[in-house]
């Protein structure tokens, strides 16, 4: 048979990953009857999953959520404390007289709601002990970009990509500049069978290069 630890592990997998079991009023039940299933259905249609007797204020919207989280995190940062997720809804009721419902914002779990891109820059969710807590998000480190041109002392060099239509004129200007370095030769120097003149030797060296 299986040990107690193995049975507990199987039950945990059935609850957390396989969605075969769930919780309802503190007991383990088939997932179709669980509170998690009810919350997923409400999140799908963005409906609050709160009893009418518990509703004491307006429902929290995305804009309201961001503003309230900033105030809560500011107070927590001054005291150097983390905020248990189990206390977050109570804080919204006591401080802002508003009801925080993750299902009305499209999420079945509060921890997943706080990881949405609209508020994830404000807070991080971490596992601490036997529960999750919310802490202020750490500022992302800025990356320093290294320019190869700066390292090669090419700051004054302007990169230029010529227009294909202007290519003939560009080549013509380049040839004109090179022509200024070539000295003209006389025909008798070219046809002479004797030792070439210094000008012809310079031309041969230039052509060979």
Kindly report which listed range (14-28, 32-46, 126-140, 154-168) carries the lowest average pLDDT score. Answer: 154-168
What proportion of the chain, given as a percentage, has pLDDT over 90?
56
Residues making up the chain, counted from first to last: 209
Model confidence at 96, pLDDT cuts 50, 70, 90, reads: very high
pLDDT at 81 (0 to 100): 86
Highest mean pLDDT out of 9-13, 79-83, 152-156, 198-202: 9-13
The stretch 135-152 carries a mean pLDDT of 68
Give the helix, strand, coil percentages of the chain, each rounded to 5. Answer: 45, 10, 40
> What whole-number distance in Å separates Cα of residue 199 and Cα of residue 64?
86
Query: Which residues are registered as beta bridge partners of 58?
Result: 98
In tens, the pLDDT along 157-185 reads: 445 455 555 555 655 666 666 556 556 65
pLDDT computed for residue 189 by the predictor: 59
pTM exceeding 0.75? no
Q: Which residue has the tokens 């090179």?
A: 178
Q: Is the dihedral of CA 67, 72, 76, 81 positive or negative?
A: negative
pLDDT in tens, 116-125: 999 999 999 9
Q: Kindly report, residue by residue over 29-71, the tens digit of the pLDDT.
A: 999 999 999 999 999 999 998 654 455 679 999 999 999 999 9
Q: Which two tokens stand for residue 12?
A: 């945990």
The CA distances from residue 138 to 132, 135, 161, in Å, are: 17, 9, 43
Looking at residues 75-87, what average pLDDT do you find?
89
Centroid of chain to Cα 169 = 47
| pLDDT number for residue 158 | 47
118 close to 107: Cβ distance less than 8 angstroms: no
Tokens found for residue 50 = 């709160």
- Residue-level pLDDT at 40: 94
């Amino acid at each position: 048979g299986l040990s107690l630890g193995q049975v507990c592990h199987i039950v945990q997998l059935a609850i957390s990953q396989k969605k075969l079991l769930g919780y309802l009023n503190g007991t383990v039940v088939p997932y179709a009857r669980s509170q998690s299933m009810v919350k997923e259905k409400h999140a799908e249609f963005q409906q609050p999953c709160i009893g009418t007797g518990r509703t004491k204020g307006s429902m929290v919207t995305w804009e309201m959520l961001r503003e309230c989280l900033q105030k809560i995190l500011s107070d927590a940062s001054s005291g150097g404390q983390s905020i248990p997720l189990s206390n977050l809804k109570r804080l919204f009721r006591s401080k802002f007289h508003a009801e925080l419902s993750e299902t009305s914002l499209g999420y079945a779990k509060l921890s997943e709601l706080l990881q949405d891109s609209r508020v994830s820059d404000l807070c991080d969710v971490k596992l601490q002990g036997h529960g999750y807590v919310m802490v202020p998000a750490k500022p992302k480190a800025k990356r320093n970009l290294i320019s190869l041109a700066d390292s090669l002392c090419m700051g004054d060099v302007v990169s230029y990509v010529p227009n294909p239509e202007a290519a003939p004129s560009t080549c013509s200007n380049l040839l004109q500049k090179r022509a200024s370095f070539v000295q003209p030769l006389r025909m008798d120097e070219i046809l002479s069978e004797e030792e070439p003149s210094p000008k012809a030797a310079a031309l041969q060296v230039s052509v060979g290069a």
